[in-house]
Amino acid sequence: MKKNILRQCKGCRNIKNREEMVKITLFNNSLFINPNSKIMGRSIYVCKNEECIKNLIKTKGIKRGLKFNDGEIIKETEEKLKNFLILP
Ligand SMILES: [Zn+2]
């Protein structure tokens, strides 16, 4: 059985099972969408739904949650997150 690891969504602030969320990790001054937790580093989580991802973007959750200031990389990552929703 998988362990229930709970994390807070930066979009809706609800606490959920990590399995239901997208992990974004700061590593080597770059950002990674990190579904398997293979990359270690400061991370934030967001639910895999449009509302939470939009809210994360609107509230600058990546910048604030990871204390990361590279607007270009944040924008790229936000685009990747939006694409993540389209994937099966
Ligand atoms: Zn959420």
Element (H, E) at 32: strand 30-33
* Total number of residues shown for the chain: 88
70 in a structural domain: yes
61 in a structural domain: yes
19 in a structural domain: yes
Domain range for residue 70? Answer: 6-86
pTM across the whole model: 0.89
How far, in Å, from the CA of 28 to the mean position of ligand 1?
26
- pLDDT band of residue 34 (cuts 50, 70, 90) is confident
Start-to-end Cα distance in the chain: 24
pLDDT in tens, 59-82: 999 999 999 999 999 999 999 998
Which residues lie across from 26 on neighbouring strands? 31, 42
Alpha carbon 13 to chain centroid, angstroms: 12
How far, in Å, from the CA of 21 to the mean position of ligand 1?
8
Question: Taking ligand 1, which is a single-atom ion, which protein residues have CB atoms under 5 Å away?
Answer: 9, 11-12, 47, 52
1 in a structural domain: no
Number of domains in the chain: 1
How far, in Å, from the CA of 42 to the mean position of ligand 1?
19
35 in a structural domain: yes
Give the CATH number for residue 45: 3.30.1230.10
How far, in Å, from the CA of 45 to the mean position of ligand 1?
8
